Amino acid sequence: MTPAPAAPAGRTLRALAVLVFIGVPLALFAAAGGLLLQAEATGVLAARQAATVAQLQRRLAAAISGEGRQIDTGAIYLAAPTPELAAATLQQLVIRLTDAAGVRLIETQPLDRFVDLSRAAPAGAAAPTDETVQLRVSLDAANADLLALLTAIEGGLPLLTVEQLQIRRLSRTGADDDADPLLRVDLVIGAHWKAAAP
């Protein structure tokens, strides 16, 4: 009589059968539940994107049909009757921006005006009504102040562009010289102007 050794194998098979018939379905139900939650989240995201697409389609249809507000493109230009006054307006704007950024302005110098030759009128046609004015600026600034100034120059209206930029480090005495050095900045700022009534 040797039925005793068969008992441990029978227990192992029973435990394995319980695991297969109960554990595997539970794992599959858990995985299915996770997939259902993910599908619901994907459906919510798809609904949001569909609403965004519908809104963009309405805006595009309104823009094509001419409805809606008209954008004033004149705000991107310096308004002045002459190029010299446009350069003076640009100079005043740069002085305000440098004061607001906390940098030390050393010098501003208007450069000779030039017409954008890519848009120059052919012979016999009317001359273009907008030109570019440029201003050379020298200043001293710390890194954070320079970043604030460049952001203000290129992020506001009228539209200004930094056409040239040269930065060199100035030596100064102090323990925090390496952490936040003083910089000498030379830049050329450009702006377009349209002739305005005097």
Domain carrying residue 98: 75-195
Whether 144 and 112 map to the same domain: the answer is yes
Tracing tokens 């848009």 back to the chain, one arrives at 119
pLDDT for position 127: 46
Of 10, 44, 70, the residue at which a domain comes to its end is 70
Give the chain's domain count.
2
For residues 86 and 78, the answer to whether their CB atoms sit within 8 Å is yes
Find out whether 139 and 151 touch, Cβ atoms under 8 Å: no
Q: What is the pLDDT of residue 9?
A: 77
pTM of the model as a whole: 0.56
Residue where one domain finishes, among candidates 53, 70, 87: 70
Neighbours of 116 (CB within 10 A): 11
pLDDT single digits (tens) 139-163 = 999 999 999 999 999 998 899 999 9
pLDDT in tens, 46-56: 998 999 888 88
Q: Are residues 121 and 64 in the same domain?
A: no
Residues 10 and 85 grouped into a single domain: no
| Residue located via tokens 């200004």 | 160
Instruction: Answer with the one of 49, 70, 91 that is the final residue of a domain.
Output: 70
My answer on whether 115 and 145 are in the same domain is yes
pLDDT band for position 61 (cuts 50, 70, 90): confident
